[in-house]
Amino acid sequence: MESNHSPFDMNRRVMIAGMAWLPALSGALLPTSSEGQTTSDVPLASWNDGSAKQAILDFVRATTDQGSAKFVPPEGRIAAFDQDGTLWVEHPIYSQVVYCLDRVPAVVEKDPKLKNVEPFKTVLSGNREAVAKLSLRELEKILVATLTGMSVDDFEGEAKKWLTNAKDTRWKRPYTELIYQPMLEVMQYLRVNGFKTYIVTGGGQDFVRVYSNQVYGIPVEQVVGTAGGTKFGYHKNGTPFLTKEPRLLLNDDKAGKPEGIHLMIGRRPNAAFGNSGGDREMLEYTGAGDGARLMMLVLHDDGQREYAYGPAQGLPDSKVGTFSQALYDEAKKKGWTVISMKNDWKRIFAFDKKA
């Protein structure tokens, strides 16, 4: 197991609750490395043979073979993917929260009186242990200050710039390279087979839209996430624009995921992928439909190549990772497939050596 000394090692539930405030903006292409888009003629090339890979192959065959009793016409094929911990690294802290903390100096520069006001003062101090101890309410203040109050276009510009320059502390790479290559292959395999792939994330809808097309090949309109309201208004010259408001429209986590799916997609997915208790209701909702169903949970059991965390691995639940024993039991009972990162994946990232 990877030891964890991150200064931002906050309680996951705090993170999730805080994510409720993450708002939104117009997506665009991000000029990042194209490694994440690596394709292969062999479907699921980074997957070891086993029950997880087989479940994907069986599901696609059942839904796309016209002779199958469970055939689904192409226009009915929908697959939903959680993001944090399912498509990219979430441990020890959500990348979007790093973005918010990194934006604090710019916010204070614009509004200097915040300099001596908590929680901004603590963030500016650089005392990482103190930052890690910020309360939920304090964290929300940071999210609101860094994710709202600006135009949709300004937010997009700032987020794009950050994503281009910021690097994680362990791999020293842009966050947009910390994508699970096997999951990219699943998305691509499903798309090649006529599925419309959606991200359904507790993270900010506008934040994820900034890179979804470049990183996942998913257009902005297929990103469902926690979303705040915007307010239509006019610049002095009469040009209209939208301002991001601290008003929560959709908390796209737990029960909010099927609710968000209904709002944004309007029909039940045939397949859903997650990794935590935040995805439970989405998988239940997906599983309750007719015909072939595929529900999968990524288990973080690879402390060497990524991280190992969560009670299902006998590890404490106090940090990130709410893949609880109860969720594990529900998965077993309902026939959901648990993906072992350690055993099912030949490699984790596109930049890993090929197996």
Bridge-partner residues for 57, per DSSP? none
Residues 6+ apart with CB under 8 A from 277: 254, 322, 323, 324, 327
Residues 6+ apart with CB under 8 A from 117: none
Contact assessment for residue 300 and residue 91, using Cβ atoms and an 8 Å cutoff: yes
Only one of the segments 170-178, 257-265, 297-305, 335-343 lies at the binding site for its own copies (rule: CB under 8 A); that segment is 257-265
| Contact status: 230 vs its own copies (CB under 8 A) | yes
Which H or E element spans position 229?
strand 223-234
- Residue 93-132 contact track with its own copies, rule CB under 8 A, x = bound: ----------------------------------------
Please state, in angstroms and rounded to a whole number, the distance separating the CA atoms of residues 208 and 24.
9
Which CB atom, from 182 or from 269, has the smaller least distance to its own copies?
A: 269
One DSSP character per residue, 103-122 reads: HHHHHHHHSGGGGGSTTHHH
At 302, phi and psi to the nearest 5? -125, 80
| Contact status: 227 vs its own copies (CB under 8 A) | yes
Could you tell me the smallest distance in angstroms from the CB atom of residue 40 to its own copies? 23
Which CB atom, from 223 or from 320, has the smaller least distance to its own copies?
A: 223
Which CB atom, from 27 or from 321, has the smaller least distance to its own copies?
A: 27
| Contact status: 293 vs its own copies (CB under 8 A) | no
Q: Take residue 172 and report the two structure tokens written for it.
A: 């020293």
Q: Take residue 164 and report the two structure tokens written for it.
A: 């281009």
Could you tell me the smallest distance in angstroms from the CB atom of residue 300 to its own copies? 26
Work out which of 41, 75, 129, 290 binds its own copies, going by CB under 8 A: 75
254 to each of 79, 81, 212, 225, 285, how far by Cα in Å?
17, 13, 22, 12, 11
Which CB atom, from 78 or from 134, has the smaller least distance to its own copies?
A: 78
Task: Give Cα 113 distance to the centre of its chain.
Answer: 34
Which CB atom, from 289 or from 316, has the smaller least distance to its own copies?
A: 289
Please state, in angstroms and rounded to a whole number, the distance separating the CA atoms of residues 229 and 242.
10
Q: Within 13 Å of residue 70, how many CA atoms lie on the same side as its CB?
A: 14
Contact assessment for residue 265 and residue 198, using Cβ atoms and an 8 Å cutoff: yes
Contact assessment for residue 127 and residue 1, using Cβ atoms and an 8 Å cutoff: no
Q: Take residue 238 and report the two structure tokens written for it.
A: 């009469």
- Residue 148-177 contact track with its own copies, rule CB under 8 A, x = bound: ----x-------------------------
- Residue 295-324 contact track with its own copies, rule CB under 8 A, x = bound: ------------------------------
| Contact status: 27 vs its own copies (CB under 8 A) | yes
Which CB atom, from 24 or from 183, has the smaller least distance to its own copies?
A: 24
Only one of the segments 116-124, 132-140, 255-263, 338-346 lies at the binding site for its own copies (rule: CB under 8 A); that segment is 255-263
| Contact status: 288 vs its own copies (CB under 8 A) | yes
Only one of the segments 60-68, 110-118, 241-249, 304-312 lies at the binding site for its own copies (rule: CB under 8 A); that segment is 241-249
Rule CB under 8 A: which residues touch its own copies?
Answer: 24-27, 75, 152, 196, 205-206, 209, 213, 219-221, 223, 227, 229-232, 239-242, 249-250, 255-256, 258-259, 262-268, 281, 284-285, 288
